[in-house]
Amino acid sequence: GAVVSQHPSWVICKSGTSVKIECRSLDFQATTMFWYRQFPKQSLMLMATSNEGSKATYEQGVEKDKFLINHASLTLSTLTVTSAHPEDSSFYICSAMGTESSPLHFGNGTRLTVT
Amino acid sequence: AQTVTQSQPEMSVQEAETVTLSCTYDTSESDYYLFWYKQPPSRQMILVIRQEAYKQQNATENRFSVNFQKAAKSFSLKISDSQLGDAAMYFCAYRSAAGTYKYIFGTGTRLKVLA
Protein backbone atom coordinates (compact mmCIF):
# COMPACT_ATOMS: atom_id res chain seq x y z
CA GLY A 1 0.00 0.00 0.00
CA ALA A 2 0.90 3.65 -0.32
CA VAL A 3 3.24 4.85 2.40
CA VAL A 4 3.79 8.38 3.59
CA SER A 5 6.70 9.03 5.90
CA GLN A 6 6.72 12.08 8.14
CA HIS A 7 9.75 13.16 10.11
CA PRO A 8 10.36 13.92 12.88
CA SER A 9 7.69 12.21 14.96
CA TRP A 10 8.18 14.67 17.75
CA VAL A 11 10.27 17.75 18.30
CA ILE A 12 10.84 20.18 21.12
CA CYS A 13 12.19 23.60 20.30
CA LYS A 14 12.73 26.90 22.01
CA SER A 15 10.56 29.89 21.35
CA GLY A 16 11.87 31.96 18.46
CA THR A 17 13.53 29.12 16.60
CA SER A 18 12.38 27.44 13.40
CA VAL A 19 11.43 23.83 12.88
CA LYS A 20 11.21 21.89 9.63
CA ILE A 21 8.93 18.90 9.18
CA GLU A 22 9.37 16.60 6.19
CA CYS A 23 6.73 14.58 4.43
CA ARG A 24 7.70 11.96 1.87
CA SER A 25 5.64 9.66 -0.28
CA LEU A 26 7.76 6.52 -0.39
CA ASP A 27 6.20 4.42 -3.11
CA PHE A 28 4.13 6.78 -5.20
CA GLN A 29 4.32 10.23 -6.71
CA ALA A 30 2.25 12.74 -4.80
CA THR A 31 0.80 15.37 -7.06
CA THR A 32 -0.86 17.03 -4.12
CA MET A 33 0.04 17.14 -0.46
CA PHE A 34 -1.95 18.60 2.38
CA TRP A 35 -0.84 19.84 5.77
CA TYR A 36 -3.15 19.61 8.74
CA ARG A 37 -3.03 20.71 12.31
CA GLN A 38 -4.86 18.79 15.01
CA PHE A 39 -5.58 20.05 18.49
CA PRO A 40 -6.24 17.53 21.27
CA LYS A 41 -9.50 15.67 20.86
CA GLN A 42 -10.40 17.70 17.80
CA SER A 43 -10.67 17.14 14.11
CA LEU A 44 -8.07 17.89 11.48
CA MET A 45 -7.78 21.49 10.44
CA LEU A 46 -6.46 22.00 6.91
CA MET A 47 -3.62 24.49 6.84
CA ALA A 48 -2.55 24.42 3.23
CA THR A 49 -2.59 22.53 -0.04
CA SER A 50 0.72 21.93 -1.71
CA ASN A 51 1.25 21.08 -5.38
CA GLU A 52 4.62 20.11 -6.76
CA GLY A 53 6.47 22.99 -8.30
CA SER A 54 4.00 25.68 -7.35
CA LYS A 55 3.24 27.85 -4.36
CA ALA A 56 1.11 26.40 -1.63
CA THR A 57 -2.47 27.51 -1.20
CA TYR A 58 -3.16 28.48 2.39
CA GLU A 59 -6.45 28.30 4.17
CA GLN A 60 -7.98 31.42 5.58
CA GLY A 61 -6.42 32.41 8.87
CA VAL A 62 -3.18 30.50 8.33
CA GLU A 63 -0.12 32.75 8.25
CA LYS A 64 1.86 31.81 5.18
CA ASP A 65 4.94 33.66 6.38
CA LYS A 66 4.92 31.66 9.56
CA PHE A 67 4.15 28.27 8.08
CA LEU A 68 6.38 27.94 5.04
CA ILE A 69 5.51 25.08 2.75
CA ASN A 70 7.72 23.82 -0.02
CA HIS A 71 6.84 21.02 -2.42
CA ALA A 72 10.05 20.70 -4.37
CA SER A 73 9.47 17.26 -5.84
CA LEU A 74 6.72 14.75 -6.40
CA THR A 75 7.77 12.85 -3.29
CA LEU A 76 8.71 15.55 -0.81
CA SER A 77 6.94 18.43 0.89
CA THR A 78 8.23 20.35 3.87
CA LEU A 79 6.55 22.52 6.46
CA THR A 80 8.74 25.01 8.29
CA VAL A 81 7.35 26.67 11.37
CA THR A 82 9.28 29.93 11.60
CA SER A 83 9.88 31.85 14.80
CA ALA A 84 7.90 29.29 16.75
CA HIS A 85 5.89 30.31 19.79
CA PRO A 86 4.26 28.18 22.48
CA GLU A 87 0.86 28.62 20.81
CA ASP A 88 2.28 26.81 17.76
CA SER A 89 2.58 23.67 19.86
CA SER A 90 0.34 21.12 18.24
CA PHE A 91 0.15 17.91 16.26
CA TYR A 92 0.91 18.42 12.58
CA ILE A 93 -0.07 15.82 10.00
CA CYS A 94 0.82 15.66 6.35
CA SER A 95 -1.03 13.71 3.71
CA ALA A 96 -0.43 12.89 0.10
CA MET A 97 -2.54 12.06 -2.87
CA GLY A 98 -1.34 10.34 -6.01
CA THR A 99 -3.84 10.25 -8.82
CA GLU A 100 -7.13 12.07 -8.88
CA SER A 101 -9.06 8.97 -7.90
CA SER A 102 -6.72 7.74 -5.21
CA PRO A 103 -7.49 8.25 -1.52
CA LEU A 104 -5.49 10.39 0.84
CA HIS A 105 -2.62 8.73 2.65
CA PHE A 106 -1.35 10.18 5.87
CA GLY A 107 1.99 10.50 7.56
CA ASN A 108 2.22 9.48 11.19
CA GLY A 109 2.25 13.06 12.39
CA THR A 110 4.66 15.33 14.24
CA ARG A 111 4.11 16.49 17.76
CA LEU A 112 5.65 19.94 18.12
CA THR A 113 6.27 21.40 21.54
CA VAL A 114 7.57 24.95 21.79
CA THR A 115 9.02 25.91 25.14
CA ALA B 1 -19.54 25.22 0.80
CA GLN B 2 -19.53 21.60 1.75
CA THR B 3 -19.93 20.49 5.35
CA VAL B 4 -19.64 17.17 7.15
CA THR B 5 -21.46 16.48 10.39
CA GLN B 6 -20.89 13.68 12.84
CA SER B 7 -23.51 14.01 15.54
CA GLN B 8 -22.18 11.31 17.85
CA PRO B 9 -19.13 12.51 19.83
CA GLU B 10 -18.78 9.12 21.48
CA MET B 11 -20.15 5.62 21.02
CA SER B 12 -19.66 2.36 22.88
CA VAL B 13 -20.06 -1.18 21.67
CA GLN B 14 -19.65 -4.55 23.28
CA GLU B 15 -16.98 -6.74 21.79
CA ALA B 16 -18.36 -8.93 18.97
CA GLU B 17 -21.43 -6.73 18.60
CA THR B 18 -22.33 -4.36 15.77
CA VAL B 19 -22.22 -0.57 15.89
CA THR B 20 -23.20 2.12 13.42
CA LEU B 21 -21.55 5.53 13.25
CA SER B 22 -23.49 8.35 11.63
CA CYS B 23 -22.35 10.95 9.16
CA THR B 24 -24.28 13.49 7.15
CA TYR B 25 -22.94 15.96 4.67
CA ASP B 26 -24.10 18.88 2.66
CA THR B 27 -23.09 19.60 -0.91
CA SER B 28 -24.50 20.87 -4.15
CA GLU B 29 -22.14 18.73 -6.18
CA SER B 30 -23.23 15.53 -7.86
CA ASP B 31 -19.87 13.82 -8.09
CA TYR B 32 -17.72 13.33 -5.03
CA TYR B 33 -16.06 10.81 -2.75
CA LEU B 34 -16.82 9.90 0.83
CA PHE B 35 -14.43 8.28 3.27
CA TRP B 36 -14.18 6.91 6.74
CA TYR B 37 -10.82 7.24 8.43
CA LYS B 38 -9.79 5.72 11.73
CA GLN B 39 -7.37 7.38 14.13
CA PRO B 40 -6.21 5.05 16.93
CA PRO B 41 -4.26 6.30 19.95
CA SER B 42 -1.10 6.27 17.84
CA ARG B 43 -2.78 9.12 15.91
CA GLN B 44 -1.96 7.54 12.56
CA MET B 45 -4.85 8.19 10.20
CA ILE B 46 -5.93 4.96 8.53
CA LEU B 47 -8.34 4.67 5.64
CA VAL B 48 -11.20 2.37 6.55
CA ILE B 49 -13.48 2.57 3.54
CA ARG B 50 -14.35 4.82 0.61
CA GLN B 51 -17.43 5.37 -1.50
CA GLU B 52 -17.77 6.99 -4.89
CA ALA B 53 -20.96 9.01 -5.13
CA TYR B 54 -21.79 7.72 -8.59
CA LYS B 55 -21.88 4.15 -7.31
CA GLN B 56 -25.21 3.03 -5.90
CA GLN B 57 -23.76 -0.08 -4.32
CA ASN B 58 -22.61 0.36 -0.77
CA ALA B 59 -18.90 -0.20 -0.20
CA THR B 60 -17.77 -3.09 1.98
CA GLU B 61 -14.39 -3.94 3.44
CA ASN B 62 -14.45 -7.09 5.54
CA ARG B 63 -16.25 -6.17 8.79
CA PHE B 64 -16.79 -2.59 7.69
CA SER B 65 -19.63 -1.50 5.47
CA VAL B 66 -21.39 1.74 4.69
CA ASN B 67 -24.97 2.76 4.15
CA PHE B 68 -24.77 5.47 1.51
CA GLN B 69 -27.99 7.39 0.98
CA LYS B 70 -27.20 10.01 -1.65
CA ALA B 71 -30.57 11.73 -1.64
CA ALA B 72 -30.53 12.01 2.13
CA LYS B 73 -26.81 12.93 2.09
CA SER B 74 -26.10 10.31 4.67
CA PHE B 75 -23.04 8.06 4.93
CA SER B 76 -23.03 5.80 7.97
CA LEU B 77 -20.39 3.24 8.89
CA LYS B 78 -21.32 -0.16 10.24
CA ILE B 79 -18.74 -2.18 12.11
CA SER B 80 -19.67 -5.82 12.58
CA ASP B 81 -18.15 -8.23 15.08
CA SER B 82 -16.43 -5.35 16.86
CA GLN B 83 -12.94 -6.00 18.12
CA LEU B 84 -10.88 -4.27 20.80
CA GLY B 85 -8.60 -2.98 18.07
CA ASP B 86 -11.48 -1.05 16.55
CA ALA B 87 -11.37 1.40 19.44
CA ALA B 88 -10.38 4.74 17.91
CA MET B 89 -11.59 8.08 16.66
CA TYR B 90 -13.50 7.73 13.42
CA PHE B 91 -13.66 10.61 10.99
CA CYS B 92 -16.03 10.92 8.08
CA ALA B 93 -14.63 12.90 5.16
CA TYR B 94 -15.87 14.41 1.92
CA ARG B 95 -13.89 15.22 -1.19
CA SER B 96 -15.00 16.76 -4.44
CA ALA B 97 -14.34 14.74 -7.56
CA ALA B 98 -12.77 17.76 -9.19
CA GLY B 99 -11.18 21.02 -8.25
CA THR B 100 -8.75 21.30 -5.36
CA TYR B 101 -9.35 17.80 -3.99
CA LYS B 102 -9.51 19.21 -0.48
CA TYR B 103 -10.88 16.86 2.13
CA ILE B 104 -13.48 18.10 4.56
CA PHE B 105 -13.51 16.18 7.81
CA GLY B 106 -16.24 15.79 10.36
CA THR B 107 -15.58 16.37 14.04
CA GLY B 108 -15.13 12.69 14.72
CA THR B 109 -16.74 9.96 16.80
CA ARG B 110 -14.80 8.26 19.55
CA LEU B 111 -15.59 4.55 19.57
CA LYS B 112 -15.05 2.54 22.72
CA VAL B 113 -15.10 -1.23 22.57
CA LEU B 114 -16.04 -2.95 25.79
CA ALA B 115 -14.61 -6.36 26.59
Contact B35 A104 (CB under 8 A): yes
Average pLDDT of the segment spanning A73-79: 93
Confidence of residue A37 (pLDDT cuts 50, 70, 90): very high
**How many helical (H) and strand (E) elements, i.e. helices and strands, does chain A have?**
0, 11
CA of A7 vs chain B CAs: smallest distance (Å): 13
Confidence of residue B87 (pLDDT cuts 50, 70, 90): very high
Average pLDDT of the segment spanning A42-47: 91
Confidence of residue B1 (pLDDT cuts 50, 70, 90): confident
Does the CB of B103 have a partner CB in chain A at under 8 Å?
Answer: yes
Q: Which of A54-63, A81-90, B96-105 has the lowest mean pLDDT?
A: B96-105
User: Which one, of B103, B85, B83, B94, lies nearest residue B40 by Cα?
Assistant: B85
**Chain B contact probe: residue of A34, A41, A44 with most B CBs at under 10 A:** A44
The pLDDT, as a whole number, for residue A16 is 97
Is B100's pLDDT higher than 80? no
User: Do the beta carbons of residue A47 and residue A112 sit within 8 Å?
Assistant: no
The pLDDT, as a whole number, for residue B32 is 94
B5 CB neighbours in chain A (<8 A) are: none
User: Which one, of A45, A40, A25, lies nearest residue A93 by Cα?
Assistant: A45
Average pLDDT, chain A: 92
Contact A32 B101 (CB under 8 A): yes
Is B97's pLDDT higher than 90? no
Q: What percent of chain A has pLDDT over 70?
A: 99
User: Do the beta carbons of residue B76 and residue B83 sit within 8 Å?
Assistant: no
Confidence of residue A41 (pLDDT cuts 50, 70, 90): confident
B112 CB neighbours in chain A (<8 A) are: none
Average pLDDT of the segment spanning A90-108: 90
In whole angstroms, give the CA distance from residue B32 to residue A68: 30
